[in-house]
Amino acid sequence: MSLQLTILGCHSATPRTFAHPTSQFLEINNRAFLIDCGEGTQVQLRKYKIKFSKIDNIFISHLHGDHFFGLIGLISTFGLLNRQNDLHIYGPKGIREIIELQLKLSNSYLQFDLVFHELESDESKLIYEDDKVEVHTIPLEHRVYTNGFLFKEKLGERKLNIEAVKENPEIEICDYQNLKNGKDFIAEDGTVIANDLLTFSPPKPISYAYCSDTVYKPEITSVIKEVDLLYHESTFLKDREELTGTTKHSTAEQAALIAQKANAGQLILGHYSSRYPDIKLFEKEAKTVFDNVSLAEPGKVFIITSKVSEELLLAHQN
């Protein structure tokens, strides 16, 4: 089980030659998701050699241009590339109308189905689920209706402790799946061998929380508690904290406070205001509150790999 997050763009407001608006490509537990899609995202995807065919689900946090103006272009390109698979779009109510109007007026007929999942709730909801991953909304507070997204691996199967299994000749290959599913083994004479003597716990599921754009909202920490990786916007530094009230953005310090309260494993900052030429200042400010801080930068890749839990590895070695 693993997570790989590629930053495609991480600056606020307007795109510039070397400042790309928000978009991220997430691979988690062999599933792929595009998160937000500012203008130029399709060019960034090509630049970082991310296959368009991997993208079946796109999550849009809110309808400010720096988070979705690249969506219609990407959809059109999928059409030109003769895509066949359904494309699922998760985003605020209204997103369907915007996309469908543009397709209609450009006389575009897609060969694939666009499936819209319009969001309206102010509570955290499960909006995507398959056998590997689930995605929940994180209700944020911004100038328009906005959600963050929490991506969580599902708990995998238990791993066979092959040595222990082999010591019990009665266990046959056809029993393995039951063991992986957590069932105890019952021998013909009725003896029960507890499952945890025959298997290891599955790797700890990894989770990623994407929180942009939002004012400081500590209530979200109940949703993202113990998240492994947290991206939280930090449009401003503390020196402009007075702007966060009207613009509904956060400072780097506030992002770090969220990471601290949620007991996150690692914090990534981004959505920097162009007022600040030196983004290192964001890291510095956040580190006064929370240790494990990184800066989002276009092309940067974050990887997290979960191992079988250490405790059980030791049991295996004994």
Residue that the structure tokens 């909006």 belong to: 127
- What is the rounded CA–CA span in Å between residue 236 and residue 253? 9
| Residue nearer to a copy of itself on the CB measure, 70 or 203 | 70
Nearer to a copy of itself, 65 or 218 (CB): 65
Look-up of token digits 């930068």:
297
In angstroms, give the least distance from the CB of 115 to a copy of itself.
20
Neighbour tally for 95: CB within 10 Å? 21
Cβ 70 to a copy of itself shortest distance, Å: 7
CB of 21 to a copy of itself, least distance (A): 9
Nearest alpha carbon to residue 220 among 212, 24, 60: 212
**Dihedrals φ, ψ of 15, to 5°?**
-70, 145
CB 30 within 8 A of CB 305: no
- Contact letters (x/-) for a copy of itself, 52-91, by CB under 8 A? -----------xxx---xx-xx--xx--xx----------
Q: Which is nearer to a copy of itself, 98 or 243 (CB)?
A: 98
Q: Which of residues 206-265 bind a copy of itself (CB under 8 A)?
A: none
Active site annotation includes 196: no
Which structure tokens are listed for 306? 């979960």
Contact characters 106-125, a copy of itself, x per CB under 8 A = xxx-----------------
Is position 143 an interface residue for a copy of itself (rule: CB under 8 A)?
yes
Q: Are 16 and 68 in contact (CB under 8 A)?
A: no
H or E stretch including 303? strand 301-305
Q: Which of 66, 86, 175, 184 is catalytic?
A: 66
DSSP character at residue 111: S
Asked if 299 is part of the footprint of a copy of itself (rule: CB under 8 A), the reply reads no
x-or-dash string of contact with a copy of itself, 17-56, rule CB under 8 A = x---------------------xx-xx--xx---------
Phi, then psi, of 242 in degrees rounded to 5:
-65, -20
> Which residues are catalytically annotated?
66
Q: Which residues bind a copy of itself (CB under 8 A)?
A: 13-17, 39-40, 42-43, 46-47, 63-65, 69-70, 72-73, 76-77, 80-81, 92, 94-95, 97-98, 101-102, 105-108, 143-144
